[in-house]
């Protein structure tokens, strides 16, 4: 009998586990637990991984819903990153093409992290069986990374050394198309600024009061002037989370602002953060109030490792796009015809037709990505942030996306949530698991790849990790 290639073997291993992988994904979809509250999701993962023969460690980095599951011996040690947190307020029934909240749970998987976690699990199980079959040296570790959407658990895990000792890391993300991530994302610090003033009767004794609301407003004015004197790519956002009360005739004794400071590199974020801190101090000085700040979370820019990204791209091309069928196209067409924002259906079909070289009516009837986008470098920075960035600064990392939903679907919407347990999404999870597993196996087998990826990583990051959060920042487990 002819020997199966690694590709055929990996594909067969994932297929053998198809039922468990789909069950895991759909169960997490139903649990829909938000950041740091993923107790049922983490329990299901660890129960399944233990049954598969992995050694599980739960509650790592001081986070009850974070875990590692390892299998194998010695080097190379390759990590797979799983996420499983839902988004608040995005409750939605799966598979229906209208906004319909599920009873009993206000939250939902608007970013597809149920699929993400299940795809990483699929890869881990396939690699484990590959190591067993070939009696090869090497270790695969599935990292259970909670709370990506808020709290950025991977940053806390990276700061606490959880990824130390890894040789490489891979992950993926659900999307409306298939591509390898050759672009960076923005670093970010999320920080609260507090002002403490003195309350007083605003008409009878204003001279005795010191307004914390004035301080907050002056701080924002200062930051709005700062914008002209920071790099173009920086993004600074703020929201008032305490305005010191609702009575205009009371001098406000407290105020709180929530700031996001984003820039392409962590060093740039930290530099702008120092200037924002000075502005807060200035606002306090101007108003006779006291200021303080509390870092809530932070994350680094994502650095795609050049060599690993190429390996993952080739694995994706070898595995191919998810094997969608007519039922998947029909279901996707139902979602495609839903409005996303203000864009008309015709405009969206025309734009996608141009991008994919297909006819607009053909896109509208078959709105699923059936190819793998070509790998291109020197792409613009993604105007968002991910805590995979912190992993990429500690260890060579690559990630990709697979089409789990109709073309043009916007993330963090009910439409994205509704497509989190469709037959198309299940097919994409299997394809993602296969591509990740194939990439892991190829890195394990090839010393030259491993040497090159380390060279790239040293060049790309300088070989040092500047964590955007200080040692005293704790996970916000309260939900």
Contact positions vs Zn ion (CB under 5 A): 111
Q: How far is the CB of 87 from Zn ion (least distance, A)?
A: 9
- The tally of CA atoms less than 13 A away on the side-chain side of residue 254 is 6
Residue 84 or residue 336: which is nearer to Zn ion going by CB?
84
- How far apart CA 366 and CA 328 sit, in angstroms, is 9
3-state helix, strand, coil in the chain (%, to 5): 45, 20, 40
Residue 111 or residue 363: which is nearer to Zn ion going by CB?
111
Residue 190 or residue 255: which is nearer to Zn ion going by CB?
190
Q: How far is the CB of 174 from Zn ion (least distance, A)?
A: 8
User: 95 is written with which tokens?
Assistant: 């598979």
Q: How far is the CB of 385 from Zn ion (least distance, A)?
A: 11
Question: Distance of CA 36 to CAs 23, 89, 108, 197, 262, Å?
Answer: 22, 16, 15, 33, 23
Q: How far is the CB of 14 from Zn ion (least distance, A)?
A: 22
Residue 38 or residue 129: which is nearer to Zn ion going by CB?
38
Residue 78 pairs with which residues in a beta bridge?
140, 168
Q: How far is the CB of 4 from Zn ion (least distance, A)?
A: 34
Q: How far is the CB of 119 from Zn ion (least distance, A)?
A: 12
Question: Distance of CA 349 to CAs 333, 336, 340, 344, 355, Å?
Answer: 11, 9, 12, 9, 10
Residue 111 or residue 166: which is nearer to Zn ion going by CB?
111
Q: Report the residue number whose CB is nearest to Zn ion.
A: 111
- How far apart CA 350 and CA 408 sit, in angstroms, is 11
Residue 129 or residue 390: which is nearer to Zn ion going by CB?
390
Which residues have C-beta within 8 Å of that of residue 150, sequence separation ≥ 6? 34, 35, 297, 476
Q: How far is the CB of 110 from Zn ion (least distance, A)?
A: 9
Residue 117 or residue 433: which is nearer to Zn ion going by CB?
117
Residue 91 or residue 401: which is nearer to Zn ion going by CB?
401
- How far apart CA 273 and CA 286 sit, in angstroms, is 20
Q: How far is the CB of 111 from Zn ion (least distance, A)?
A: 3
**Closest alpha carbon to 100 in 90, 110, 109:** 90
Residue 279 or residue 388: which is nearer to Zn ion going by CB?
388
**Closest alpha carbon to 73 in 131, 122, 144, 126:** 131
CB 234 within 8 A of CB 272: yes
Q: How far is the CB of 149 from Zn ion (least distance, A)?
A: 7
- How far apart CA 47 and CA 59 sit, in angstroms, is 14
Q: Which residue has the tokens 């009767």?
A: 201
Residue 54 or residue 172: which is nearer to Zn ion going by CB?
172
**Closest alpha carbon to 183 in 400, 4, 369, 356:** 400
- Judged on CB neighbours under 10 Å (0-12, 13-18, 19+), 45 is buried
Q: How far is the CB of 148 from Zn ion (least distance, A)?
A: 6
- How far apart CA 287 and CA 38 sit, in angstroms, is 43
Q: How far is the CB of 53 from Zn ion (least distance, A)?
A: 29
- Phi-psi label, residue 7: left if phi above 0, alpha if psi -120 to 50, beta otherwise: alpha
**Closest alpha carbon to 75 in 4, 7, 165:** 165
CB 294 within 8 A of CB 191: yes
Residue 111 or residue 140: which is nearer to Zn ion going by CB?
111
């Amino acid at each position: 009998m002819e020997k199966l290639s690694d590709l055929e073997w990996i594909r067969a291993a994932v297929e053998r586990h198809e039922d468990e992988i789909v069950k895991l994904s759909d169960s997490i979809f139903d649990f829909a637990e938000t950041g740091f509250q993923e107790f049922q999701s983490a329990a299901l993962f660890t129960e399944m991984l233990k049954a598969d023969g992995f050694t599980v460690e739960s509650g790592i980095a001081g986070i009850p819903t974070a875990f590692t599951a390892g299998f194998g011996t010695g080097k190379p040690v390759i990590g797979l990153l799983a996420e499983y947190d839902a988004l608040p307020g995005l409750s939605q029934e799966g598979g229906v093409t209208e906004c319909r909240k599920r009873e009993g749970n206000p939250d939902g998987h608007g970013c597809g992290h149920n699929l993400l976690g299940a795809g990483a699990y699929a890869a881990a199980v396939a690699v484990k069986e590959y190591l067993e079959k070939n009696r090869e040296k090497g270790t695969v570790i599935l990292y259970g990374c909670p709370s990506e959407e808020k709290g950025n658990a991977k940053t806390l895990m990276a700061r606490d050394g959880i990824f130390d000792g890894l040789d490489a890391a891979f992950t993926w993300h659900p999307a409306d198309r298939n591509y390898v991530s050759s672009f960076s994302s923005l670093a970010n610090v999320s920080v609260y600024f507090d002002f403490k003033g003195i309350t007083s009767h605003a008409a009878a004794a204003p001279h005795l009061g010191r307004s914390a609301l004035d301080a907050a407003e002056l701080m924002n004015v200062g930051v709005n002037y700062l914008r002209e004197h920071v790099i173009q790519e920086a993004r600074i956002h703020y929201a008032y989370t305490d305005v010191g009360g609702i009575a205009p005739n009371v001098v406000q004794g407290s105020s709180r602002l929530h700031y996001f400071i984003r820039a392409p590199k962590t060093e740039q974020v930290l530099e702008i953060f120092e200037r924002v801190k000075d502005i807060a101090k200035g606002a306090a000085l101007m108003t006779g109030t006291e200021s303080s700040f509390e870092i809530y979370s932070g994350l680094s820019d994502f650095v795609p490792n050049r060599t690993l990204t190429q390996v993952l791209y080739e694995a994706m091309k070898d595995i191919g796009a998810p094997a969608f069928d007519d039922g998947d196209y029909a279901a996707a067409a139902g979602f495609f015809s839903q409005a996303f924002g203000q864009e008309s259906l015709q405009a969206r079909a025309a734009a996608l037709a141009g991008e994919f070289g297909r006819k607009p009516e053909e896109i509208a009837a078959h709105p699923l990505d059936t190819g793998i986008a070509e790998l291109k470098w020197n792409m613009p920075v993604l105007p968002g942030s991910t805590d995979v960035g912190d992993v990429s600064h500690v260890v060579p990392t690559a990630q990709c996306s697979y089409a789990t939903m109709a073309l043009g679907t916007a993330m963090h919407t009910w439409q994205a949530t509704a497509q989190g347990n469709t037959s198309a999404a299940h097919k994409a999870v299997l394809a993602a698991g296969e591509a990740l597993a194939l990439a892991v196996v190829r890195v394990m087998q090839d010393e030259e790849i491993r040497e090159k990826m380390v060279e790239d990583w040293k060049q790309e990051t300088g070989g040092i990790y500047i964590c955007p959060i200080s040692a005293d920042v704790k996970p916000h487990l309260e939900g």
